[in-house]
Amino acid sequence: MGKIITIDPVTRISGFLEIQAEVEENIIVKANASGLLFRGFEKMLKGRPPLDAIFFTERICGICSTAHAFASAVALEDALKIPVRINDRYIRDIIHGFEFIQNHLRHFYILTLPSYVKITSLKLVADQDYSDFRLPEEINNKIEEHYLKSIEFSRLAHEGAAILGGKTPHNHGIFVGGVTVIMDAYKLEKVKAIINNIKAFVSTAMLEDVGIISEYYSDYFEKGKSYPNFMSFGTFNSYEEKDISYVGAGVMINGTRYPLNAEKITEQVQYSWFNNNQVTEEVNINKPDAYSFIKTPRYENYPMEVGPLARLILTGEYTNGNSCMDRIIARVLETNKILNIIENLADRLELLPSSQSAYQIPQSAYGVALVDTTRGALGHWIQIDNQVINHYNIITPSVWNLSPKDVDGSPGIVERALIGSTINNIKEPIEIGRIVRAFDPCISCATHLIGKDKGVHVVEVLV
Amino acid sequence: MIDDKSKNKMNAIWLEATGCSGNMISFLNSENPGLYQILTNIINLTYNNTLMGAEGDYAFEKFLETLETEFILLVDGAISVKDNGQYTIVANYKGKKITALEAVKMAAEKAKYVIAVGTCASYGGISAARPNPSESKSLQDILTRLVIRLPGCPCHPDWVVGTLAHLVGYGVPELDEEGRPLIFYGVTIHDNCTRRGFFERGIFASKFGEEGCMIRLGCRGPITQTDCPRRKWNGYVNWPIGANTNCIGCAQPGFPDGTEPFVRY
């Protein structure tokens, strides 16, 4: 048996995560990722008014709340058969785009870089137990300046979302039927100016910084490789024009691309703290062998990586590999790409009044939303009975990436990325945090319960 | 040890518990002072899961060291007490799992001031929504000492920064009977609403996206005490009513169960 390394808390992520890694001769041979936060949103949503799901589910997550509002609105529109006009889809995608930008700026500078760059001006960030910082002083100082500047630009991205949606986190402007904003020339110019200001920073500082990091830490192209399986539910994919489109739904398994078939998604709880019986699942923190609140989703029994790298691999724009450093680079490239898309969307906007209606809730209805968001593929499923929510199921991107082992013993995506990676200095296992953070884990999103009841045809609980 | 070179700056722990960490994200949106100025001029933040450089045991040591100094405790999220708090584990320190419940109790006992940031920490909030599977409670529910409550889902960054600045420079600000600073929570949204004139003239919106008072859609402005209408959000550009949607009472005790439905036609 090798040396066991436990890192808990894995800081600079959203929520609580523990990593236990077993290391033999400086190579990780076994890894367990444990999500350590549970609230039970699906249970809370039962019996609530269906339209409330939008503002309710966005409170699952502080950093990606708009994603849940977006998915929830799409699921309700599917259930209530409400069309959304194109101008409102543009606006909604711009709000969602601002969330991507906010998230990626914060993830790259505030969460990722302190493991590669010495942030000496903030004691909270500087104080670390590691010494593997490789940048020459002058370069380090320049990137540290960008770290501090990025705080203003991520704030500005949220300001852009607030112009169109009231406030954020927990935006009000995305709703069933589209959006609630009454667009005017001033709001539009303000949004465009914000996009421009952020673009100037990303296209110079951020792209250059990730280039420097990948040069000085080039061994991270060999660390953190996971399965060659990638999935996206599609994002910025409802338009014909290329300049406002990104990625459609699809999967890639061992190098071959297939259309997405959501019926191939299953979930297991073998290593999760849930008991499974015929009716519902209940938490059982004493369950033998279980080690996480996160469940194990699989696609045709394959673990699937989701997120920026998966998206860029699926579009064919990124072909370098699937290592720790590839994930970091992909997130930065995607930031630039989405800024261009929302700039082009803003150019198409018309100044139309709101198209909201007084929406009536049917006795029974069922709706699905499969959308891609900052961290990857997000699914919301709603079953309405007696005009209230009977079942509401959510599978978030971080569930895909952070899942524990499956019934066959195959590790989850993050676990697999750790296995086989070399720890250069066993006394300072900084590699583990670097590899895990590159996935942008969000544990507040990742833990959830699923019922097996009718209405959720797509999810079959196996174990 | 955590050294504190500035006389005016007080140490602070920002502990994320059973929630979405949205109050920390909102805090990052603070502007003049921005994050850098807050952390260099107002408080010396020694522990926070989202921002800190350290990880693992070394990170939690910063938490423990701070307990021996004069410090402010900020808590973001409710406190889950189900199964002894094991639904929220904030650290595994030298082989011992530390629950949020345990960490909060340890720190609150020694803190000079305790602040509940956001509605979950203040009143239970979304984390405690029925049937409350994690048995989440408010900070005040598990503590006997004074808790300053800064509700809001999320909490506006100004409400946190203003309270911190007051504590560090002038002591405890004037609070209402629930522990909310009067400077931010003294009047209802309805009192200062930008659409109050519509209410007085009887002009009411019948759906989102319309001008008019939204009280008939279920606006919770009349019972919700914050300064949102005057302060606004995110660079002071907008707020929910500015987006033609009603207030859902996210800063009120009883949110969300007591403020449902969020909208009715």
How far apart, in whole angstroms, are the C-alpha atoms of residue B206 and residue B200?
A: 16
Contact B133 A151 (CB under 8 A): no
B chain contacts of residue A9, beta-carbon cutoff 8 Å: 49, 55-56, 59-60, 90-91
Higher pLDDT: A446 or A313? It is A313
Maximal C-alpha separation, chain A: 67
According to the model, what pLDDT value does residue B7 have? Answer: 54
| Residue A151 confidence (pLDDT) above 90 | yes
Contact B21 A39 (CB under 8 A): no
For A381-413, b/e burial (b = at least 16 CB within 10 A) is: bbbbeeeebbbbbbbbbbbbbbbbbbeeebbbb
Q: 3-class SS at B144?
A: coil
Given pLDDT bands bounded at 50, 70 and 90, which one contains residue A457? very low
| Residue A407 confidence (pLDDT) above 90 | yes
Nearest to A53 by CA among A37, A40, A36, A71: A71
Beta-carbon count within 10 A of A321 CB: 17
Given pLDDT bands bounded at 50, 70 and 90, which one contains residue A461? very low
**Sign of the alpha-carbon torsion through B155, B158, B160, B166:** negative
- Secondary structure (DSSP) of A193-211: HHHHHHHHHIIIIIHHHHH
Radius of gyration of chain B (CA): 19
Radius of gyration of chain A (CA): 22
Smallest CA–CA distance from B259 into chain A, residue = A52
**Contact between A303 and A229 (Cβ < 8 Å):** yes
The H-or-E segment that residue A391 falls in is strand A388-395
Instruction: Give B136 to chain A, closest Cα distance, Å.
Output: 8
Contact B243 A164 (CB under 8 A): yes
- Amino acid residing at A157: A
Smallest CA–CA distance from B235 into chain A, residue = A159
**Contact between A239 and A247 (Cβ < 8 Å):** no
How far apart, in whole angstroms, are the C-alpha atoms of residue B163 and residue A407?
A: 51
How far apart, in whole angstroms, are the C-alpha atoms of residue A30 and residue A211?
A: 31
- Residues of chain A numbered 56-75 and touching chain B (CB < 8 Å): 56, 59-63, 65
Using a CB–CB cutoff of 8 Å, tell me whether B25 touches chain A: yes
CATH for the stretch A3-461: 1.10.645.10
| Residue A245 confidence (pLDDT) above 90 | yes
| pLDDT tens string B175-234 | 999 999 999 999 999 999 999 999 999 999 999 999 999 999 999 999 999 999 999 999
Q: Which two tokens stand for residue B64?
A: 């423990």
Enter the DSSP assignment of A129: S
Which one of B16, B21, B220 would you mutate to disrupt binding with A, by most A Cβ within 10 Å of its Cβ?
A: B21
Contacts of A304 (CB under 8 A, 6+ apart): A227, A229, A230, A231, A251, A297, A298, A310, A377, A400, A413
The structural domains of chain A, with segments of one domain joined by +, span 3-461
For A266-299, b/e burial (b = at least 16 CB within 10 A) is: bbbbbbbbbebeeeebebeeebeebbbbbbbbbb
Q: What is the mean pLDDT of chain A?
A: 94
| Residue A292 confidence (pLDDT) above 60 | yes
Contact B34 A11 (CB under 8 A): no
Q: What are phi and psi of B195, to 5 degrees?
A: -105, 15
**Contact between A95 and A169 (Cβ < 8 Å):** no
Which one of B18, B25, B45, B58 would you mutate to disrupt binding with A, by most A Cβ within 10 Å of its Cβ?
A: B25
Given pLDDT bands bounded at 50, 70 and 90, which one contains residue A278? low
Q: What are phi and psi of B135, to 5 degrees?
A: 45, 55
Contact B18 A37 (CB under 8 A): yes
* Strand A281-283 versus strand A274-276 pairing type: antiparallel
According to the model, what pLDDT value does residue A460 have? Answer: 38
B chain contacts of residue A182, beta-carbon cutoff 8 Å: 209, 244
Which one of A110, A111, A124, A153 would you mutate to disrupt binding with B, by most B Cβ within 10 Å of its Cβ?
A: A124
According to the model, what pLDDT value does residue A446 have? Answer: 74
Beta-carbon count within 10 A of B84 CB: 11
**Sign of the alpha-carbon torsion through A230, A235, A236, A239:** positive
Given pLDDT bands bounded at 50, 70 and 90, which one contains residue A280? low
Tell me the average pLDDT across A105-117: 98
According to the model, what pLDDT value does residue A454 have? Answer: 40
- Residues of chain A numbered 261-290 and touching chain B (CB < 8 Å): 283, 285
Q: Which residues pair with A18 in a beta bridge?
A: A34
| pLDDT tens string A17-37 | 999 999 999 999 999 999 999
The pTM (predicted TM-score) of the whole model is 0.96
Among A225-234, A264-273, A355-364, the least confident range: A264-273
Nearest to A102 by CA among A65, A53, A49, A146: A65
Maximal C-alpha separation, chain B: 65
According to the model, what pLDDT value does residue A282 have? Answer: 86
According to the model, what pLDDT value does residue A1 have? Answer: 79
Given pLDDT bands bounded at 50, 70 and 90, which one contains residue A449? low
Contact B238 A126 (CB under 8 A): no
The H-or-E segment that residue A394 falls in is strand A388-395
According to the model, what pLDDT value does residue A365 have? Answer: 97
Given pLDDT bands bounded at 50, 70 and 90, which one contains residue A462? very low
Report the residue from B52, B237, B256 with minimal CB separation from A163.
Answer: B237
| pLDDT tens string B18-59 | 999 999 999 999 999 999 999 999 999 999 999 999 999 999
According to the model, what pLDDT value does residue A455 have? Answer: 38
| pLDDT tens string A198-218 | 999 999 999 999 999 999 999
- Residues of chain B numbered 134-173 and touching chain A (CB < 8 Å): 134, 136, 153-154
Nearest to A217 by CA among A124, A112, A313: A112
Nearest to B119 by CA among B17, B214, B40: B17
A chain contacts of residue B49, beta-carbon cutoff 8 Å: 9, 11-13, 16
How far apart, in whole angstroms, are the C-alpha atoms of residue B244 and residue B205?
A: 9
Contact B31 A155 (CB under 8 A): yes
What is the interface size between A and B, counted as CB pairs within 8 Å? 258
| Residue B2 confidence (pLDDT) above 70 | no
Contacts of A28 (CB under 8 A, 6+ apart): A21, A22, A418, A419, A420, A421, A422, A423, A432
Beta-carbon count within 10 A of A200 CB: 12
What distances in angstroms separate CA A104 from CA A44, A62, A430, B13, one per listed residue? 30, 14, 22, 26
Which domains, ranges and CATH numbers included, belong to chain B?
A: 10-183 (3.40.50.700), 189-259 (4.10.480.10)
Contact B238 A110 (CB under 8 A): no
By residue count, chain A amounts to: 463
According to the model, what pLDDT value does residue B190 have? Answer: 98
**Contact between A426 and A26 (Cβ < 8 Å):** yes
Given pLDDT bands bounded at 50, 70 and 90, which one contains residue A456? very low
Looking at chain A, the whole-number percentage of residues with pLDDT higher than 70 is 95
Helix axes A185-201, A86-105, angle to 10 degrees: 30
Angle at A41 between CA A36 and CA A45, to 5 degrees: 170
Instruction: Give A110 to chain B, closest Cα distance, Å.
Output: 7
B chain contacts of residue A159, beta-carbon cutoff 8 Å: 234-235, 237
